[in-house]
Amino acid sequence: MSTVIFRKGLDLKDAVAATLAKDYHSAIVDDLIGHGFRRVRGRLTIHLAREFGFCYGVDRAVDYAYQTRKRFPDRTVYLTGEIIHNPHVNDNLRAAGIRFLSDAGEPREPLGAQAVIILPAFGVTVHALAAYDRLGCTLVDTTCGSVLNVWKNVKRYAQDGYTALIHGKVRHEETLATASQVLKYPGGRYLVVLNRDQASRVCSYIERGGDRDAFLAEFRDMASEGFDPDRDLRHIGLANQTTMLMSESLNIGEMFRQAMCARFGEAALGDHFRAFDTICTATQDRQDAVETLLDRETLDLMIVVGGYNSSNTRNLAKICAARLQTYHVADADALRSASEIRHRLIDAPSGGAGQEVAGSGWLPAAGTVRIGLTAGASTPNNIIGQVVQRLERFAAVADGA
């Protein structure tokens, strides 16, 4: 059986363009952009960050999924899991007849060589890709170019005997896929750290050593099999999940550079420490844009729109929450009334809709209101437009208009 792989679309971009526009376009968002990313209706002014919503990689992945359904109308089309972290987009694909292997009741592996498998923007593990290849499935690979860039660097680390130190969420699809790339090489090693606290403990071990068993107990589920901190922290190369908070990734990188320098000396640093820029430009652009918005405008509150399991959306919310009252909402339905809102707590642990809580008194009842707005890279324009409509309606109601 021979596997057919599509990595550059299926030559049906024009054929699905109208459907994509119908499902995800927003005239309201066009109006915001056309008026300097600002919209005034009555007492309400909305300021939209200049980089927001679908990034190139997400737009490409969704486009390829629609093309796949069009190209293979009579074959079973599967997605390995969510194509992106947005429930509306994923539900649209289910409605189009695309089956999700991650859904309850679906097979753990697709059945038969006639299956068409869409690989999501996050990529898949080396093990999963090998399984699909053995089945001779047709593959449509939508893996984002920024993710591929991270893979290139961690593979280079493994080839040269360096442990890949990955700043990311160990159970996130992208981090799982990135870590698996390291294991393609004999002796390949990885360690995943979530935040500065975990990074600090690893740095302390690098500099001063410590209780090996305690280290392994803490990081057992975050490290490659057979990981030995006394051996595998002598040569490290940094990488990150592309959707992490840029400032945190940079800070963690500097922590490890200083730790390796303290352990081995400045002169020998190049033999023990490597770092390449693997921060996604789209993630960085959205974070920079919201910082600029907060610097330039005086706002009463900030609304961040996107899936609750979207890492890049949660990080946008964290940036905003450090400056002013911020609500991370999944969609317009989260805005229940002029007084009630359903939102995700900014510092809640990773999770889905179960992280949503109720809030009240979120919208000032009278006077001018200035709201900042942005959206994660997996949020389509139509969802953003619906949020704007809801904001305008509730602002008018609260003011008695």
Residues identified as active-site: 174
Structural contact between residues 143 and 122, judged by C-beta atoms closer than 8 angstroms: yes
Distances (CA, A) of 335 to 158, 186, 256, 328, 395: 48, 52, 42, 11, 12
Q: What's the one-letter identity of residue 169?
A: K
258's tokens: 């200083």
Long-range contacts of 349-358 (CB under 8 A, 24+ apart): 350/169, 350/171, 350/309, 351/308, 351/309, 352/308, 352/309, 353/87, 353/308, 355/308, 356/308, 356/330
C-alpha 376/C-alpha 331 separation (Å) is 12
Closest CA to 319 of 36, 49, 54: 49
Cα distance between residue 267 and residue 120, in whole Å: 42
Alpha helices in 82-195 (DSSP H): 87-95, 126-135, 145-159, 173-182
Residue 2: which region, alpha, beta or left (left: phi > 0; alpha: psi -120 to 50)? beta
